[in-house]
Structure 1
């Protein structure tokens, strides 16, 4: 007679992780070895702590080299971190440490619950614009037909002409690719959206349309962690600004207070 199987309970959440947070980064470290120079080790992140709640938009600020994009890539697991924890609360309410998940588990989270939008779109060859965007919706649980309808609405929102929807995304201009990237990142909004300079290549009209789309994510409860070098965009979208300097958090607060502090290391433009 076999004994009954018992499933081990999930680990208790760390005491300092807020009960409602979607993302909680703790003591995160990341360094790079400059093999092509002299083998020196450069610290990019040196003990970063931050939290992002549902519906909150946290913008990262700081000078070039402060670690902003590196932090986003560690959260998305494009980079492996060198220490610390990246706690993510799944749609099922479980806390998982992104830094220690297997590659297969990370791929699953990216498809369902993470979104990442950078200034570059690297589409697979021979995939149409509509297919790229609708596939993102399917990965997040939408039925295929509903995903195509939502993709069409998202593409209209970012002013991608319908005559381009069946074209391979590789032939689009840089600005068009960036708008397709935004449409795919925001369709069936994920629990966590990472934005790395998502409007850098856009003209003023398309920039305004994309910022409108990002602003509406607050209503969906999506947690957003972003990097902008645009003061107006940060002031419009962010609920909180976290300033990084030398790989550490040096300040955090409301955009109106942080962005006008002359003593903080910032590189933002109006």
Structure 2
């Protein structure tokens, strides 16, 4: 489903004598359909940079990111044009960041429902589906018509998750999705991720909580200080071994 080949990302430091830094350099890995790859490593080593290069929030400096698209065929996300990336994000790619970034003064239910409109859903049907998703993620009904800017950090993250989950993407990218959630909501998110994986969704993500990582990941990619990585199955005690 996803194959990353010799991925490198550099950043220019204009206010430093260092010049360029390379958080990711020559990284390669692949993920089969319906599998979950967790990425582990020290803080600041470039884990989020990998995810942003896949989703094309960042343009990779070099390398290839091959994705087997249902609608577009085999696509190198590192080279795809902006229109193609927009289509893929609408139809097939999901991304959950650590923070919710949405248009102010829009009710939570509409923020979630609008993800379904490009897929041909009517406004009424999309809102009903959004309400079901908000309920599953334990957002109180009284907040459905409120603005997420007034929510707590945990409530905002649940809206963030609802926006991603509602379209059931083929490839889900997760950047510490449970960092601000309580234990009960984290358990609900884990159940939803496991259900999506059973339905064939492929996932790649990072988690601040190693226990959560081991509950959802089939394999874990350890990132080294050199920007490379070592793939290994998750521990047997945490679940089945990877294929």
Q: When the two structures are superposed, what TM-score results if normalisation uses the length of structure 2?
A: 0.91
Instruction: Give the corresponding residue for 1:167.
Output: 146
Count of aligned residue pairs for this structure pair? 238
**Which stretch shows the higher mean deviation, 74-83 or 35-44?**
35-44
* Match 1:193 to one of 172, 177, 198: 172
Instruction: Give the corresponding residue for 1:263.
Output: none
Do the aligned partners of 1:67 and 1:246 also contact (CA within 8 Å) in 2? no
2:192 maps to 1:213: yes
Q: Which runs of 5+ in 1 are unaligned?
A: 1-21, 260-270
User: Secondary structure at the residue paired with 2:109?
Assistant: helix
* Distance of aligned partners of 1:247 and 1:196 in 2 relative to their CA distance in 1, 3 Å threshold: farther
User: Secondary structure at the residue paired with 2:59?
Assistant: coil
User: Secondary structure at the residue paired with 1:79?
Assistant: coil
* Match 2:20 to one of 34, 41, 57: 41
2:222 maps to 1:243: yes
2:87 maps to 1:104: no
Instruction: Give the corresponding residue for 1:153.
Output: 132
Cα distance, 1:39 vs. partner?
Answer: 4.6
Instruction: Give the corresponding residue for 2:44.
Output: 65
**Which stretch shows the higher mean deviation, 59-68 or 137-146?**
137-146
2: CA distance between counterparts of 1:228 and 1:37?
31
Q: Which runs of 5+ in 2 are unaligned?
A: 239-243
4+ runs deviating over 3 angstroms: 139-146
1: CA distance between counterparts of 2:119 and 2:235?
35
Do the aligned partners of 2:114 and 2:126 also contact (CA within 8 Å) in 1? yes
1: CA distance between counterparts of 2:117 and 2:33?
22
Do the aligned partners of 1:157 and 1:213 also contact (CA within 8 Å) in 2? no
* Distance of aligned partners of 1:190 and 1:142 in 2 relative to their CA distance in 1, 3 Å threshold: farther
